[in-house]
A and B are shown apart, each in its own frame.
Chain A
């Protein structure tokens, strides 16, 4: 099946620092999504990207849909303790919204 490679696998940063994580694929996706998962919960959508080259922000979060449609990145600026969690990228090939391919996740830890 399709594979999404997400990096880094984990990050331990100081509060206030900026964070960057990315996702690459061997296949083209028509939609890129970024989710956050808190312990014991299901993933929650942070940002959705629908067009190659698109740059979208949601508060302190910024994500971009790569021009080749095979990659995406997520930046978090001025991190705070509640940013702790696992961040997943996901690709949607057919834009149906119900058949997502997920990356392996980036575990973010923030030191106050």
Chain B
């Protein structure tokens, strides 16, 4: 049981490049979320999903796309990276409701 895994751990992009941050969980959790954490700040919700085929926007969705084709995977896509997207990205999953939300180890992204 690996919990929530994220790849890659680190990534450097040039402005305008696209990439996909991967997130997978093996706990059969219905709920998954993506957050970003900027230096000295708390996490902010980007997108979330309450089940396969269902996604919705969080607080800061602009510049990001998501899809949820399976229960296990919830990739985050940056279509055209901008320096403002330099951040640490965390994926989280839970069974919903009052159950604990488990966070992955994060992906550190630098956009030049």
User: A45-B100, A97-B99 given as contacts; is B48 within 8 A of A102 (CB)?
Assistant: no
User: A40-B105, A42-B104, A98-B31 given as contacts; is B41 within 8 A of A105 (CB)?
Assistant: yes
Interface size class of A (residues with CB under 8 A): 20 to 34
- Judged by a CB distance under 8 angstroms, whether B44 is at the interface is yes
- Judged by a CB distance under 8 angstroms, whether A31 is at the interface is yes
A11 to B45, CA, bound (A): 26
With contacts A99-B48, A102-B42, A102-B44 known, what are 8 further pairs, Cβ within 8 A? A43-B43, A48-B100, A88-B42, A98-B96, A98-B101, A99-B45, A101-B45, A102-B35
Binary contact readout A70-112 vs B (1 if CB under 8 angstroms, 0 otherwise): 0000000000000000001010000111111111110000000
Total CB contacts across the A-B interface at under 8 A: 74
Binary contact readout B56-97 vs A (1 if CB under 8 angstroms, 0 otherwise): 001100000000000000000000000000000010101111
- Judged by a CB distance under 8 angstroms, whether A44 is at the interface is yes
Q: Which among A44, A45, A99 has the highest number of chain B CB atoms within 10 Å? A: A99
A38 to B111, CA, bound (A): 24
Whether A105 and B42, one on each chain, are in contact in the complex, defined by CB atoms closer than 8 angstroms, is yes
- Judged by a CB distance under 8 angstroms, whether B13 is at the interface is no
